[in-house]
Amino acid sequence: MTTKTRYFVVISLLVLGVGFGTGLVAYYVGFPAGAFASRGGPADLGFVPRNASVIAFANVHEIMTSELRQKMRRAIPIQENGQQELQEQTGINLETDIDTIVACMSPDVATSKGAGMVLARGRFDETKIEALMREHGAHVETYNGKRLVVADPKDFVDKDATGDVTAHPHSSLSLSFMEPGLAAIGSTALIKSAIDLHKSGNNPQAGLESVTGNDELMNLVRSMDSANAWAVGSGTARELTPRKPCFEPPSAATFDAAAHAIEAGMTTVVPRIASDVTMPSASPDESSSAPPFSAPCGDC
């Protein structure tokens, strides 16, 4: 074998070896979110778990500085006391301090209720926010090397007129600053999952995968193009609503709903509302095909 041939064989085997090695690492360990990627949608989707049934995104900075909002403020002057109060308590100025928000909702199998999470990018006074939560009874934990400010269900209490204290059946709520300028707040289980994804990236082998691996939702996300705010969802009615709906659509077929409604002229000025709903493909189950005459919950 000549030297030239030997070099060729070595280079060829090297390409194969590196490729195989990289593939094996990706398969067993996973890559940090963003490696090799151009998935469409904001980068923070890499921290949203795969089983999310609804994802929403808002480019708060663009919305706040949009011409539409300026016109609305001039047309409908609103007392922005809430915004002022938020700034005083947390140090967050909604006008300038938040860049983007990614929110998600996913079915919580354990409690059969929806679990939610909000990932906010911007400039935060971490100490002030953490202190505020601790003042309200939250405690600090460490999870996977990140500080987690946890407010347990017992912290959510209501006092009625007689002074009796009743606990709300909420799941525990947590806050974590996963990296400088990225705050995650929401259900503790989802925050922990986001921290895992932030640390290890996608690792389907270990059952850890972000929503970027969910082709169904990601195709909807990519279809949003350059909208500054959007929401997409996919799943059954039970998954899409945090509470058990009064009327569940017949059959177990899933439906998708991609709402472009929030694109409403934030940057395009012309409002656009569109909603695609795929109706159940399976034949309805007769026993549950008709809605009840009166809603069992009494709300609707």
Partner 1 sequence: MSDRAPGMPDVAPRLPQGTPRTSHLAPQVPSVWPSAMRIFDLSLGQMLWSRRSVFLGLLLGGPVILAVILRIVDSLHSSGFRVNGAAVGGSAIFGMMIWLLFIRFIVPVLGVFYGTALIADEVEDKTITYLFTRPIPRRAVLFGKYFAYLACTVLLVLPSVMLVFFLIVPTGGGSIGAAFPSLAADLGMLVVGLAAYGAVFALVGTRLKRPLVVGLVFAFGWEPAVLLFPGYLKRLSVAYYLQALVTHEMPQDSAVSVLLQIFHEVPSVTVSLVALGGIVAVALWLAGRAVEQREYILEQ
**Distance separating alpha carbons of residues 41 and 212, to the nearest angstrom:** 9
Q: Tell me: does residue 209 bind partner 1 (CB under 8 A).
A: yes
Q: Tell me: does residue 22 bind partner 1 (CB under 8 A).
A: yes
Say how many C-beta atoms besides its own lie within 10 A of residue 168's C-beta.
10
Q: Tell me: does residue 218 bind partner 1 (CB under 8 A).
A: yes
Q: Tell me: does residue 118 bind partner 1 (CB under 8 A).
A: no
Dihedral sign of CA atoms 291, 294, 298, 300 in order = positive
Residue type, position 128, single letter: K
**Minimum separation from the CB atom of position 31 to partner 1 (A):** 7
Q: Tell me: does residue 2 bind partner 1 (CB under 8 A).
A: yes
Which residues inside 261-280 make contact with partner 1, applying CB under 8 A? none
Q: Tell me: does residue 203 bind partner 1 (CB under 8 A).
A: yes
Spatial contact of 118 and 105, defined as CB atoms under 8 Å apart: no
Per-residue burial over 182-206, b if 16 or more Cβ lie within 10 Å, else e, is: bbbbbbbbbbbbbbbbbebbbbeee
**Distance separating alpha carbons of residues 183 and 121, to the nearest angstrom:** 6
**Distance separating alpha carbons of residues 291 and 285, to the nearest angstrom:** 12
> Which x/- pattern, by CB under 8 A, does the window 23-62 give for partner 1?
xx-xxx-xx---xxxxxx----------------------
Q: Tell me: does residue 204 bind partner 1 (CB under 8 A).
A: yes
| The length of the chain, given as a count of residues | 300
HSE value, Cβ hemisphere, 13 Å, CA-based, for 155: 15
Q: Which of 83, 90, 96, 223 binds partner 1 (CB under 8 A)?
A: 223
* 24 vs 290 by CB, closer to partner 1: 24
Q: Which of 80, 179, 225, 285 binds partner 1 (CB under 8 A)?
A: 225
Say how many C-beta atoms besides its own lie within 10 A of residue 35's C-beta.
12
Q: Tell me: does residue 21 bind partner 1 (CB under 8 A).
A: no
The tokens for 155 are 């912290």
- How many residues interact with partner 1 (rule CB under 8 A)? 40
Interface ranges with partner 1 (CB under 8 A): 1-2, 4-5, 8-9, 12-13, 15-16, 19-20, 22-24, 26-28, 30-31, 35-40, 202-205, 209, 212-213, 215, 218-219, 222-223, 225-226
